[in-house]
Protein backbone atom coordinates (compact mmCIF):
# COMPACT_ATOMS: atom_id res chain seq x y z
CA UNK A 1 0.00 0.00 0.00
CA UNK A 2 1.23 3.44 -0.97
CA UNK A 3 1.51 6.29 1.51
CA UNK A 4 -0.60 8.44 -0.71
CA UNK A 5 -3.97 7.12 -1.92
CA UNK A 6 -4.71 6.20 -5.53
CA UNK A 7 -8.30 6.42 -6.74
CA UNK A 8 -10.14 3.16 -6.02
CA UNK A 9 -9.14 0.40 -8.41
CA UNK A 10 -6.62 2.44 -10.35
CA UNK A 11 -3.09 1.12 -10.44
CA UNK A 12 0.02 2.84 -11.72
CA UNK A 13 1.37 1.77 -15.05
CA UNK A 14 4.31 -0.46 -14.05
CA UNK A 15 6.73 1.25 -16.43
CA UNK A 16 5.74 4.64 -15.03
CA UNK A 17 6.10 3.26 -11.52
CA UNK A 18 9.70 2.32 -12.33
CA UNK A 19 10.40 5.72 -13.87
CA UNK A 20 8.90 7.50 -10.88
CA UNK A 21 10.75 5.52 -8.23
CA UNK A 22 13.92 6.94 -6.74
CA UNK A 23 14.45 4.03 -4.37
CA UNK A 24 17.14 2.33 -6.50
CA UNK A 25 19.44 5.29 -5.83
CA UNK A 26 18.05 7.16 -2.82
CA UNK A 27 18.19 4.14 -0.49
CA UNK A 28 21.67 5.37 0.12
CA UNK A 29 20.15 8.21 2.13
CA UNK A 30 18.65 5.93 4.77
CA UNK A 31 21.01 6.88 7.62
CA UNK A 32 20.29 10.57 7.06
CA UNK A 33 16.56 9.94 6.64
CA UNK A 34 16.37 8.09 9.93
CA UNK A 35 18.45 10.69 11.76
CA UNK A 36 16.15 13.40 10.43
CA UNK A 37 13.03 11.45 11.39
CA UNK A 38 14.24 10.79 14.93
CA UNK A 39 14.99 14.49 15.40
CA UNK A 40 11.58 15.36 13.92
CA UNK A 41 9.79 12.97 16.28
CA UNK A 42 11.54 14.58 19.25
CA UNK A 43 10.65 18.06 17.97
CA UNK A 44 6.99 16.97 17.65
CA UNK A 45 7.08 15.66 21.22
CA UNK A 46 8.54 18.93 22.50
CA UNK A 47 5.74 20.76 20.66
CA UNK A 48 3.19 18.54 22.43
CA UNK A 49 2.10 16.66 19.31
CA UNK A 50 3.43 13.30 20.50
CA UNK A 51 3.22 11.95 24.04
CA UNK A 52 6.58 10.86 25.50
CA UNK A 53 5.44 7.23 25.04
CA UNK A 54 4.52 7.76 21.39
CA UNK A 55 7.81 9.51 20.77
CA UNK A 56 9.69 6.69 22.44
CA UNK A 57 7.87 4.07 20.35
CA UNK A 58 8.61 5.94 17.13
CA UNK A 59 12.28 6.52 17.94
CA UNK A 60 12.81 2.90 19.02
CA UNK A 61 10.96 1.74 15.89
CA UNK A 62 13.15 3.90 13.65
CA UNK A 63 16.26 2.56 15.33
CA UNK A 64 15.07 -0.99 14.72
CA UNK A 65 14.38 -0.18 11.06
CA UNK A 66 17.87 1.29 10.79
CA UNK A 67 19.33 -1.91 12.23
CA UNK A 68 17.49 -3.89 9.54
CA UNK A 69 18.87 -1.61 6.85
CA UNK A 70 22.38 -1.78 8.32
CA UNK A 71 22.20 -5.56 8.32
CA UNK A 72 20.81 -5.58 4.77
CA UNK A 73 17.85 -7.47 6.19
CA UNK A 74 15.32 -4.82 5.17
CA UNK A 75 12.92 -6.18 2.57
CA UNK A 76 11.87 -3.55 0.07
CA UNK A 77 8.39 -3.79 -1.47
CA UNK A 78 7.53 -3.06 -5.09
CA UNK A 79 5.31 -0.21 -3.90
CA UNK A 80 8.17 1.52 -2.04
CA UNK A 81 8.53 4.63 -4.15
CA UNK A 82 11.52 6.08 -2.37
CA UNK A 83 13.53 5.61 0.80
CA UNK A 84 11.27 7.94 2.80
CA UNK A 85 8.10 5.96 2.07
CA UNK A 86 9.90 2.64 2.49
CA UNK A 87 11.09 3.53 5.99
CA UNK A 88 7.70 4.85 7.06
CA UNK A 89 5.96 1.77 5.67
CA UNK A 90 8.28 -0.49 7.63
CA UNK A 91 7.87 1.61 10.77
CA UNK A 92 4.11 1.14 10.55
CA UNK A 93 4.57 -2.62 10.15
CA UNK A 94 6.69 -2.65 13.28
CA UNK A 95 4.87 -0.25 15.64
CA UNK A 96 1.38 0.03 14.17
CA UNK A 97 -0.74 3.08 13.34
CA UNK A 98 1.16 5.33 15.79
CA UNK A 99 3.79 5.47 13.02
CA UNK A 100 1.34 7.64 11.10
CA UNK A 101 2.00 10.46 13.57
CA UNK A 102 5.63 10.87 12.43
CA UNK A 103 4.73 12.71 9.26
CA UNK A 104 2.73 15.36 11.18
CA UNK A 105 3.64 18.81 9.90
CA UNK A 106 6.26 17.39 7.57
CA UNK A 107 6.38 16.69 3.85
CA UNK A 108 8.76 14.65 1.77
CA UNK A 109 9.67 17.99 0.23
CA UNK A 110 11.42 19.37 3.31
CA UNK A 111 12.44 15.84 4.31
CA UNK A 112 14.36 15.02 1.14
CA UNK A 113 16.12 18.40 1.07
CA UNK A 114 17.17 17.83 4.70
CA UNK A 115 18.45 14.32 3.94
CA UNK A 116 20.55 15.37 0.97
CA UNK A 117 22.04 18.30 2.88
CA UNK A 118 22.94 15.96 5.76
CA UNK A 119 24.53 13.55 3.30
CA UNK A 120 26.73 16.28 1.85
CA UNK A 121 27.54 17.72 5.29
CA UNK A 122 28.99 14.30 6.12
CA UNK A 123 30.87 14.21 2.80
CA UNK A 124 32.59 17.56 3.30
CA UNK A 125 35.22 16.46 5.86
CA UNK A 126 36.11 13.41 3.78
CA UNK A 127 36.72 15.53 0.69
CA UNK A 128 38.69 18.01 2.74
CA UNK A 129 40.81 15.17 4.08
CA UNK A 130 41.46 13.73 0.61
CA UNK A 131 42.54 17.12 -0.71
CA UNK A 132 44.70 17.64 2.34
CA UNK A 133 46.49 14.32 1.77
CA UNK A 134 47.15 15.21 -1.83
CA UNK A 135 48.55 18.61 -0.85
CA UNK A 136 50.69 16.96 1.80
CA UNK A 137 52.09 14.53 -0.78
CA UNK A 138 52.94 17.45 -3.07
CA UNK A 139 54.51 19.39 -0.20
CA UNK A 140 56.57 16.33 0.77
CA UNK A 141 57.87 16.05 -2.80
CA UNK A 142 58.74 19.74 -2.71
CA UNK A 143 60.58 19.44 0.61
CA UNK A 144 62.50 16.34 -0.41
CA UNK A 145 63.80 17.87 -3.65
CA UNK A 146 64.18 21.54 -2.86
CA UNK A 147 67.36 21.96 -4.91
CA UNK A 148 66.17 20.17 -8.01
CA UNK A 149 65.78 22.39 -11.08
CA UNK A 150 63.63 21.65 -14.11
CA UNK A 151 62.37 23.55 -17.14
CA UNK A 152 59.25 25.61 -16.54
CA UNK A 153 56.94 25.76 -19.54
CA UNK A 154 54.66 28.20 -21.29
CA UNK A 155 52.80 27.00 -24.41
CA UNK A 156 54.44 23.67 -23.51
CA UNK A 157 57.72 25.19 -24.73
CA UNK A 158 60.76 25.30 -22.47
CA UNK A 159 60.61 28.79 -21.01
CA UNK A 160 62.67 29.40 -17.85
CA UNK A 161 64.23 27.19 -15.20
CA UNK A 162 62.22 26.67 -12.02
CA UNK A 163 62.52 24.47 -8.98
CA UNK A 164 60.73 21.11 -9.18
CA UNK A 165 59.38 22.08 -5.75
CA UNK A 166 57.82 25.16 -7.32
CA UNK A 167 55.97 22.99 -9.83
CA UNK A 168 54.76 20.66 -7.04
CA UNK A 169 53.48 23.58 -4.99
CA UNK A 170 51.74 25.18 -7.97
CA UNK A 171 49.40 22.18 -8.00
CA UNK A 172 49.08 22.11 -4.22
CA UNK A 173 47.79 25.70 -4.16
CA UNK A 174 45.03 24.82 -6.62
CA UNK A 175 43.79 22.10 -4.26
CA UNK A 176 44.12 24.50 -1.36
CA UNK A 177 41.65 26.80 -3.14
CA UNK A 178 39.28 23.84 -3.48
CA UNK A 179 39.44 23.34 0.28
CA UNK A 180 38.69 27.03 0.74
CA UNK A 181 35.66 26.65 -1.56
CA UNK A 182 34.37 23.79 0.60
CA UNK A 183 34.72 25.92 3.72
CA UNK A 184 33.02 28.89 2.09
CA UNK A 185 30.06 26.84 0.87
CA UNK A 186 29.50 24.99 4.15
CA UNK A 187 27.27 27.52 5.96
CA UNK A 188 24.94 27.65 2.94
CA UNK A 189 24.87 23.84 2.83
CA UNK A 190 24.26 23.51 6.57
CA UNK A 191 20.98 25.43 6.46
CA UNK A 192 18.00 23.42 7.71
CA UNK A 193 14.90 23.17 5.48
CA UNK A 194 12.95 20.95 7.92
CA UNK A 195 9.86 22.71 9.25
CA UNK A 196 9.08 24.11 5.80
CA UNK A 197 6.67 21.23 5.18
CA UNK A 198 5.34 21.00 1.61
CA UNK A 199 5.91 24.69 0.82
CA UNK A 200 4.26 27.03 3.31
CA UNK A 201 5.71 26.04 6.69
CA UNK A 202 4.57 23.68 9.44
CA UNK A 203 1.38 24.84 11.17
CA UNK A 204 2.59 23.37 14.49
CA UNK A 205 4.89 25.14 16.97
CA UNK A 206 8.02 23.12 16.24
CA UNK A 207 11.27 24.68 17.47
CA UNK A 208 13.29 24.73 14.26
CA UNK A 209 16.38 26.22 15.92
CA UNK A 210 16.54 23.33 18.36
CA UNK A 211 16.01 20.92 15.47
CA UNK A 212 18.89 22.53 13.58
CA UNK A 213 21.21 22.21 16.59
CA UNK A 214 20.25 18.59 17.14
CA UNK A 215 21.03 17.70 13.51
CA UNK A 216 24.23 19.73 13.31
CA UNK A 217 22.93 22.47 11.01
CA UNK A 218 24.30 25.99 11.47
CA UNK A 219 21.10 27.87 10.70
CA UNK A 220 17.49 27.47 9.54
CA UNK A 221 16.13 28.43 6.13
CA UNK A 222 14.39 31.82 6.24
CA UNK A 223 11.64 31.02 3.69
CA UNK A 224 9.72 27.75 3.46
CA UNK A 225 8.96 28.09 -0.26
CA UNK A 226 12.61 28.76 -1.07
CA UNK A 227 13.69 25.95 1.27
CA UNK A 228 11.87 23.23 -0.71
CA UNK A 229 12.84 24.69 -4.13
CA UNK A 230 16.45 25.43 -3.35
CA UNK A 231 19.11 23.10 -4.75
CA UNK A 232 21.86 25.72 -4.93
CA UNK A 233 23.80 23.60 -2.48
CA UNK A 234 23.75 20.75 -5.01
CA UNK A 235 24.90 23.01 -7.85
CA UNK A 236 27.61 24.50 -5.63
CA UNK A 237 28.81 21.07 -4.63
CA UNK A 238 28.85 19.92 -8.26
CA UNK A 239 30.85 23.01 -9.21
CA UNK A 240 33.40 22.37 -6.46
CA UNK A 241 33.56 18.74 -7.55
CA UNK A 242 34.07 19.76 -11.18
CA UNK A 243 36.79 22.21 -10.20
CA UNK A 244 38.58 19.55 -8.15
CA UNK A 245 38.22 17.23 -11.14
CA UNK A 246 39.76 19.83 -13.44
CA UNK A 247 42.65 20.41 -11.04
CA UNK A 248 43.23 16.65 -10.83
CA UNK A 249 43.13 16.39 -14.62
CA UNK A 250 45.76 19.10 -15.01
CA UNK A 251 48.06 17.50 -12.46
CA UNK A 252 47.48 14.18 -14.21
CA UNK A 253 48.31 15.60 -17.64
CA UNK A 254 51.56 17.15 -16.40
CA UNK A 255 52.55 13.82 -14.90
CA UNK A 256 51.55 11.79 -17.96
CA UNK A 257 53.88 13.99 -19.98
CA UNK A 258 56.62 13.97 -17.35
CA UNK A 259 56.49 10.18 -17.06
CA UNK A 260 56.81 9.69 -20.83
CA UNK A 261 60.14 8.70 -22.39
CA UNK A 262 60.15 12.07 -24.19
CA UNK A 263 60.30 14.03 -20.93
CA UNK A 264 61.44 11.38 -18.48
CA UNK A 265 61.24 13.81 -15.55
CA UNK A 266 59.51 11.44 -13.13
CA UNK A 267 59.26 7.72 -12.62
CA UNK A 268 55.89 6.51 -11.38
CA UNK A 269 55.76 3.72 -8.86
CA UNK A 270 54.76 0.50 -10.65
CA UNK A 271 51.87 0.19 -8.16
CA UNK A 272 50.11 2.95 -10.12
CA UNK A 273 50.82 1.87 -13.69
CA UNK A 274 49.82 -1.11 -15.79
CA UNK A 275 51.72 -3.20 -18.27
CA UNK A 276 50.77 -3.61 -21.90
CA UNK A 277 49.38 -6.96 -23.00
CA UNK A 278 51.32 -6.63 -26.23
CA UNK A 279 54.41 -4.47 -25.68
CA UNK A 280 56.48 -5.74 -22.75
CA UNK A 281 58.53 -2.52 -22.41
CA UNK A 282 55.55 -0.29 -21.65
CA UNK A 283 54.25 1.03 -18.33
CA UNK A 284 50.99 2.85 -18.85
CA UNK A 285 49.94 5.69 -16.52
CA UNK A 286 46.32 4.46 -16.26
CA UNK A 287 45.67 6.04 -12.86
CA UNK A 288 46.56 9.44 -14.27
CA UNK A 289 44.63 8.90 -17.48
CA UNK A 290 41.52 8.04 -15.48
CA UNK A 291 42.04 11.11 -13.31
CA UNK A 292 42.27 13.18 -16.49
CA UNK A 293 39.14 11.59 -17.92
CA UNK A 294 36.91 11.74 -14.87
CA UNK A 295 36.93 15.53 -14.93
CA UNK A 296 34.63 15.09 -17.93
CA UNK A 297 31.88 13.32 -16.03
CA UNK A 298 32.18 15.74 -13.09
CA UNK A 299 31.74 18.74 -15.37
CA UNK A 300 28.90 16.84 -17.06
CA UNK A 301 27.07 16.44 -13.74
CA UNK A 302 27.31 20.17 -13.08
CA UNK A 303 26.05 21.10 -16.54
CA UNK A 304 23.30 18.49 -16.48
CA UNK A 305 21.99 19.53 -13.11
CA UNK A 306 22.09 23.27 -13.83
CA UNK A 307 19.85 22.49 -16.80
CA UNK A 308 17.45 20.59 -14.51
CA UNK A 309 17.15 23.73 -12.36
CA UNK A 310 16.86 26.21 -15.19
CA UNK A 311 13.36 27.67 -15.47
CA UNK A 312 11.80 25.43 -12.79
CA UNK A 313 8.74 27.03 -11.25
CA UNK A 314 9.01 27.77 -7.54
CA UNK A 315 8.18 25.09 -5.00
CA UNK A 316 9.05 21.42 -5.16
CA UNK A 317 8.90 19.79 -8.59
CA UNK A 318 9.62 16.15 -9.32
CA UNK A 319 12.46 17.35 -11.54
CA UNK A 320 14.37 17.84 -8.29
CA UNK A 321 14.49 14.09 -7.77
CA UNK A 322 17.24 14.22 -10.42
CA UNK A 323 19.59 15.87 -7.89
CA UNK A 324 20.69 12.65 -6.22
CA UNK A 325 22.40 10.59 -8.90
CA UNK A 326 24.89 13.31 -9.92
CA UNK A 327 25.62 14.01 -6.26
CA UNK A 328 26.30 10.35 -5.46
CA UNK A 329 28.38 9.80 -8.58
CA UNK A 330 30.41 12.97 -8.00
CA UNK A 331 31.10 11.96 -4.39
CA UNK A 332 32.10 8.42 -5.42
CA UNK A 333 34.27 9.65 -8.28
CA UNK A 334 36.12 12.15 -6.11
CA UNK A 335 36.61 9.68 -3.29
CA UNK A 336 38.01 7.12 -5.72
CA UNK A 337 40.48 9.64 -7.14
CA UNK A 338 41.44 11.19 -3.82
CA UNK A 339 42.28 7.83 -2.32
CA UNK A 340 44.65 6.97 -5.19
CA UNK A 341 46.42 10.17 -6.20
CA UNK A 342 48.05 11.05 -2.87
CA UNK A 343 49.85 7.70 -2.92
CA UNK A 344 50.84 8.09 -6.55
CA UNK A 345 52.33 11.53 -5.84
CA UNK A 346 54.02 10.40 -2.63
CA UNK A 347 55.76 7.47 -4.32
CA UNK A 348 56.82 9.04 -7.62
CA UNK A 349 60.52 9.68 -8.08
CA UNK A 350 61.88 12.69 -9.93
CA UNK A 351 64.82 12.00 -12.27
CA UNK A 352 67.34 14.82 -11.70
CA UNK A 353 69.64 13.94 -14.60
CA UNK A 354 66.73 14.12 -17.08
CA UNK A 355 65.55 17.44 -15.72
CA UNK A 356 69.04 18.84 -15.78
CA UNK A 357 69.71 17.82 -19.37
CA UNK A 358 66.45 19.48 -20.40
CA UNK A 359 67.66 22.82 -19.03
CA UNK A 360 69.03 24.07 -22.33
CA UNK A 361 70.88 27.34 -22.35
CA UNK A 362 68.41 29.14 -24.60
CA UNK A 363 66.10 29.16 -21.56
CA UNK A 364 68.46 31.71 -20.05
CA UNK A 365 67.93 34.25 -22.83
CA UNK A 366 65.70 36.28 -20.51
CA UNK A 367 68.62 36.39 -18.07
CA UNK A 368 70.72 38.13 -20.72
CA UNK A 369 67.99 40.69 -21.30
CA UNK A 370 67.64 41.24 -17.56
CA UNK A 371 71.45 41.57 -17.37
CA UNK A 372 71.28 44.47 -19.83
CA UNK A 373 68.37 45.98 -17.91
CA UNK A 374 70.53 46.02 -14.79
CA UNK A 375 73.08 48.01 -16.83
CA UNK A 376 70.40 50.62 -17.53
CA UNK A 377 69.24 49.40 -20.97
CA UNK A 378 65.45 49.70 -21.57
CA UNK A 379 63.89 46.22 -21.55
CA UNK A 380 62.52 46.42 -25.11
CA UNK A 381 65.95 47.36 -26.46
CA UNK A 382 67.58 44.58 -24.41
CA UNK A 383 65.01 42.06 -25.68
CA UNK A 384 65.77 43.01 -29.30
CA UNK A 385 69.53 42.67 -28.76
CA UNK A 386 69.19 39.26 -27.07
CA UNK A 387 66.81 37.97 -29.77
CA UNK A 388 69.54 38.62 -32.34
CA UNK A 389 72.08 36.96 -30.13
CA UNK A 390 69.95 33.86 -29.59
CA UNK A 391 69.32 33.62 -33.31
CA UNK A 392 73.05 33.73 -33.97
CA UNK A 393 73.67 31.11 -31.30
CA UNK A 394 71.05 28.79 -32.81
CA UNK A 395 72.25 29.41 -36.38
CA UNK A 396 75.85 28.58 -35.62
CA UNK A 397 75.05 25.85 -33.10
CA UNK A 398 77.16 27.71 -30.51
CA UNK A 399 75.70 27.81 -27.01
CA UNK A 400 75.20 31.32 -25.61
CA UNK A 401 77.93 30.82 -23.04
CA UNK A 402 80.42 29.95 -25.80
CA UNK A 403 79.82 33.14 -27.79
CA UNK A 404 82.85 35.43 -27.41
CA UNK A 405 82.30 38.81 -25.82
CA UNK A 406 83.09 40.67 -29.11
CA UNK A 407 80.15 38.93 -30.76
CA UNK A 408 77.88 39.77 -27.84
CA UNK A 409 79.01 43.39 -28.03
CA UNK A 410 78.00 43.49 -31.68
CA UNK A 411 74.42 43.08 -30.44
CA UNK A 412 74.77 45.49 -27.54
CA UNK A 413 77.75 47.48 -26.24
CA UNK A 414 76.61 47.11 -22.62
CA UNK A 415 77.64 43.42 -22.56
CA UNK A 416 80.69 42.87 -20.31
CA UNK A 417 82.84 40.00 -19.08
CA UNK A 418 80.50 39.37 -16.13
CA UNK A 419 77.71 38.38 -18.56
CA UNK A 420 78.74 34.69 -18.45
CA UNK A 421 77.83 34.48 -14.80
CA UNK A 422 74.25 35.37 -15.76
CA UNK A 423 74.07 32.19 -17.85
CA UNK A 424 73.67 29.87 -14.91
CA UNK A 425 70.27 28.24 -14.24
CA UNK A 426 70.95 28.18 -10.50
CA UNK A 427 71.60 31.93 -10.49
CA UNK A 428 68.54 32.54 -12.67
CA UNK A 429 66.32 30.71 -10.23
CA UNK A 430 67.86 32.41 -7.20
CA UNK A 431 67.24 35.86 -8.67
CA UNK A 432 63.48 35.15 -8.28
CA UNK A 433 63.50 35.72 -4.53
CA UNK A 434 60.36 37.81 -4.64
CA UNK A 435 57.40 36.32 -2.68
CA UNK A 436 55.84 33.71 -4.94
CA UNK A 437 59.06 33.31 -6.93
CA UNK A 438 61.11 30.17 -7.50
CA UNK A 439 64.22 31.06 -5.42
CA UNK A 440 65.00 28.63 -2.63
CA UNK A 441 64.00 31.01 0.18
CA UNK A 442 60.77 31.97 -1.57
CA UNK A 443 59.87 28.32 -2.11
CA UNK A 444 60.64 27.53 1.53
CA UNK A 445 58.33 30.36 2.57
CA UNK A 446 55.63 28.86 0.32
CA UNK A 447 56.00 25.48 1.94
CA UNK A 448 55.66 27.07 5.36
CA UNK A 449 52.58 29.01 4.32
CA UNK A 450 51.00 25.88 2.86
CA UNK A 451 51.85 23.80 5.92
CA UNK A 452 50.26 26.45 8.14
CA UNK A 453 47.04 26.26 6.12
CA UNK A 454 47.07 22.47 6.24
CA UNK A 455 47.36 22.58 10.01
CA UNK A 456 44.65 25.24 10.54
The catalytic residues are 155, 276
26 lines the binding site for ligand ARG (CB under 6 A):
yes
Q: How far is the CB of 272 from ligand ARG (least distance, A)?
A: 38
108, 145, 166, 208: which one binds ligand ARG (CB under 6 A) = 108
82 lines the binding site for ligand ARG (CB under 6 A):
yes
Q: Which is nearer to ligand ARG, 27 or 354 (CB)?
A: 27
3-state secondary structure the chain: CCCCCCCCCCCCCHHHHHHHCCHHHHHHHHHHHHHHHHHHHHHHHHCCCCCHHHHHHHHHHHHHHHHHHHCCCCCCCCCCCCHHHHHHHHHHHHHHHHHHHCCCCCCHHHHHHHHHHHHHHHHHHHHHHHHHHHHHHHHHHHHHCCCCEEEEEECCEEEEEEEHHHHHHHHHHHHHHHHHHHHHHHHHHCEECCCCCCCCCCCCCCCHHHHHHHHCCCEECCCHHHHHHCCHHHHHHHHHHHHHHHHHHHHHHHHHHHCCCCCCCEECCHHHCEECCCCCCCEECHHHHHHHHHHHHHHHHHHHHHHHHCCCCCCCCHHHHHHHHHHHHHHHHHHHHHHHHHHHHHHCEECHHHHHHCCCHHHHHHHHHHHHHHCCCCHHHHHHHHHHHHHHHHHHCCCHHHCCHHHHHHHCCCCCHHHHHHCCHHHHHHCCCCCCCCCHHHHHHHHHHHHHHHHC
Q: Which is nearer to ligand ARG, 18 or 183 (CB)?
A: 18
Stretch that binds ligand ARG, among 93-101, 121-129, 313-321, 448-456 (CB under 6 A): 313-321
Q: Which is nearer to ligand ARG, 18 or 349 (CB)?
A: 18
Q: Which is nearer to ligand ARG, 82 or 236 (CB)?
A: 82
Stretch that binds ligand ARG, among 63-71, 314-322, 351-359, 415-423 (CB under 6 A): 314-322
Q: Which is nearer to ligand ARG, 308 or 359 (CB)?
A: 308
Of 109-148, binders to ligand ARG (CB under 6 A) are: 109, 112
Q: How far is the CB of 5 from ligand ARG (least distance, A)?
A: 14
Binding-site residue total for ligand ARG (CB under 6 A)?
9
Of 315-334, binders to ligand ARG (CB under 6 A) are: 316, 320-321
227 lines the binding site for ligand ARG (CB under 6 A):
no
401 lines the binding site for ligand ARG (CB under 6 A):
no
22 lines the binding site for ligand ARG (CB under 6 A):
yes
Residues near ligand ARG (CB under 6 A):
22, 26, 82, 108-109, 112, 316, 320-321
Amino acid sequence: MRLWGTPEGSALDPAFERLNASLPFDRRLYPQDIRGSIAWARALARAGLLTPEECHAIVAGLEAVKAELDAEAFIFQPTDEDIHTAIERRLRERIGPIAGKLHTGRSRNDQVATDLRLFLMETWPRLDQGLRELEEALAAQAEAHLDLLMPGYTHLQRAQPIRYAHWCLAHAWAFERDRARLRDAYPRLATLPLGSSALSGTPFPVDREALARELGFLSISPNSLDAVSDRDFVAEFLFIAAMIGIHLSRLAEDLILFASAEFGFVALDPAYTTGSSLMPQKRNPDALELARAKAGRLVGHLMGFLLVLKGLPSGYNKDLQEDKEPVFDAVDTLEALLTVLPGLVRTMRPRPERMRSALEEAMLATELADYLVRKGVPFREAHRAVSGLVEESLRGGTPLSALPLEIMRRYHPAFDADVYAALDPEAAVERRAIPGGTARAAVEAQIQALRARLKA
